[in-house]
């Protein structure tokens, strides 16, 4: 009987090894299938999310879940959507948007001479709340017909939702007075649709931030509340890619829980909390 505790402990250790191997195989297989490298996401956080989804769908292992995804496009798409952690709302963190309007827009206008010439990229646009917020703020200075925003996300289903432009009441709770009545139509008891004139200002497409093939000659990159999910090595590569994509003097706008430690080594100087300006080119 005294050997049973040892056997139980050994079995538990063996189970952990098998699970670890299964998870490593899953990451490799998923990368070959999707091009998404899960090693660049924070391991503990990402594995916990994936494990939850695997168990919720009744699978005993990660590879079992992977093979199920190969035969079920809806399951595969839902997994991609689950990975991206789409939490978005209009005018999220209002004080940051006020700073963007009152300080950053005048800086961009001074640098370009005309806001119409400013090239803006919303790099993890989710369901469109962020790029549409930018459009509505810019409309104070430019007619909608003159505004063009690049917006990308890894999640195609989120992009489709963004193109539809339909939002629950909770997504618009922080909008400034007047924005709701001017830019939205109520289509249900607690559902709103953004007007076509705003939607036409944004060009949506799919892009994986971890592939580093970014738009070029940008004056402003908005990347809020997504870098927190990546490893430090991944962040380094993203910062370098952002630098290469921005023009000299261009601005990087990060989220309320993010900051660049040692920003100068990436060619950026902090100009305000969560705002950085490109001052040097880097390799």
Instruction: Give me the residue spans of the domains in the chain.
Output: 4-84, 94-278
Among 156, 122, 142, 146, CA closest to 200? 146
Tokens 């971890």 identify what position?
A: 210
Helices (H) and strands (E) in the chain, counts: 11, 10
Q: What is the pLDDT of residue 8?
A: 46
The more confident residue out of 78 and 130 is 130
Q: What is the pLDDT of residues 89-100, one digit of tens each?
A: 788 888 999 999
Q: What's the CATH fold of domain 94-278?
A: Rossmann fold (3.40.50)
pLDDT band of 84, cuts 50, 70, 90? low
pLDDT at 62 over 50: yes
pLDDT at 7 over 50: no
pLDDT band of 85, cuts 50, 70, 90? low
What is the spatial order of strands in the sheet that 166-168 belongs to? 166-168, 191-194, 184-186
Q: What average pLDDT does the segment 44-70 reach?
A: 85
| Rounded distance between C-alpha atoms, residue 120 and residue 163, angstroms | 18
- Phi first, then psi: what are they for 219, rounded to 5°? -95, -25
Q: Where are the alpha helices (DSSP H) in 88-231?
A: 94-99, 105-112, 129-138, 156-164, 179-183, 196-199
Q: What is the pTM of this model?
A: 0.78
What does each C-alpha distance from 187 to 12, 192, 193, 201, 281 come to in angstroms? 54, 6, 7, 21, 48
| Rounded distance between C-alpha atoms, residue 260 and residue 275, angstroms | 10
Among 44, 55, 133, CA closest to 92? 133
| Rounded distance between C-alpha atoms, residue 270 and residue 116, angstroms | 25
Find all residues with CB under 8 Å of 193, minimum gap 6, and list them: 164, 165, 166, 167, 184, 185, 187
pLDDT at 16 over 70: no
Q: What average pLDDT does the segment 160-168 reach?
A: 93
What is the spatial order of strands in the sheet that 149-153 belongs to? 202-206, 149-153, 120-122, 218-223, 246-254, 275-278, 268-272
Question: pLDDT averaged over the chain?
Answer: 87
């Amino acid at each position: 009987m005294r050997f049973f505790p040892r056997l139980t402990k050994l079995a538990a250790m063996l189970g952990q090894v098998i699970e670890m191997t299964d998870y490593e195989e899953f990451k490799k297989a998923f990368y070959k299938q999707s091009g998404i490298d899960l090693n660049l996401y924070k391991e503990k956080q990402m594995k916990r999310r994936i494990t939850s989804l695997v168990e919720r769908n009744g699978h005993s292992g990660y590879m079992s879940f992977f093979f199920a995804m190969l035969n079920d496009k809806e399951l595969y798409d839902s997994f991609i959507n689950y990975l991206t952690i789409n939490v978005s709302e209009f005018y999220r963190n209002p004080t940051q948007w006020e700073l963007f309007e009152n300080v950053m827009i005048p800086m961009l206008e001074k640098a370009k001479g005309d806001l119409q010439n400013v090239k803006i990229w919303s790099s993890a646009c989710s369901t469109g709340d962020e790029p549409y917020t930018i459009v509505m703020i810019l409309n104070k200075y430019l007619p909608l017909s003159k505004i063009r925003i690049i917006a990308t996300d890894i999640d195609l289903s989120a992009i489709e939702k963004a193109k539809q432009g339909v939002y629950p009441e909770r997504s618009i709770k922080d909008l400034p007075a007047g924005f709701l009545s001017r830019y939205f139509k109520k289509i249900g008891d607690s559902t709103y649709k953004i007007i076509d004139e705003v939607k036409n200002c944004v060009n949506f497409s799919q892009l994986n931030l971890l592939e580093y093939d970014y738009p070029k000659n940008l004056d402003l990159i908005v990347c809020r509340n997504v870098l927190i999910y990546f490893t430090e090595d991944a962040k380094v590569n993203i910062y370098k890619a952002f630098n290469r994509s921005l023009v000299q003097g261009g601005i990087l706008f990060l989220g309320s829980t993010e900051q660049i430690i040692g920003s100068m080594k990436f060619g950026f100087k902090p100009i305000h909390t969560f705002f950085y300006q490109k001052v040097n080119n880097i390799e």
